[in-house]
């Protein structure tokens, strides 16, 4: 094991409370000298991708809100 770091993910609200998930992820060093990856991180399906900042449930909720509101501002006959 080379080290570890904390990944933080926002989750959907539970009973009106904001949810933050802290996941301690281990980083490993490759001992094979022929390997191009010097270090690598253990993967947790759906949670440890480099760009994931939200849980799957929260991503689905945000996507449905975005789709429902898409284009409404431009379609409004009133100018603000």
pLDDT of residue 73: 61
SS (H, E, C) the chain: CCEEEEEEEEEEEECCEEEEEEEEEEEEECCCCCCCCCEEECCCCCCCCCCCCECHHHHHHHHHHHHHHCCHHHHCCCCC
pLDDT in tens, 4-61: 888 887 888 877 788 888 888 888 888 888 888 777 777 777 666 666 778 888 888 8
pLDDT of residue 56: 80
**Which pTM was predicted?**
0.54
pLDDT of residue 42: 77
pLDDT of residue 49: 66
Higher-scoring residue by pLDDT: 45, 66:
66
């Amino acid at each position: 094991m080379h080290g570890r770091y904390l990944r933080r993910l926002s989750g959907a609200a539970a009973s009106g409370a904001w949810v933050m998930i802290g996941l301690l992820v281990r980083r490993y060093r490759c001992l094979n000298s022929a390997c191009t990856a010097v270090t690598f991180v253990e993967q947790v399906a759906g949670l440890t991708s480099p760009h994931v900042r939200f849980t799957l449930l929260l991503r689905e909720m945000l996507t449905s809100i975005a789709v429902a509101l898409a284009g409404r501002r431009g379609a409004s006959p009133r100018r603000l």
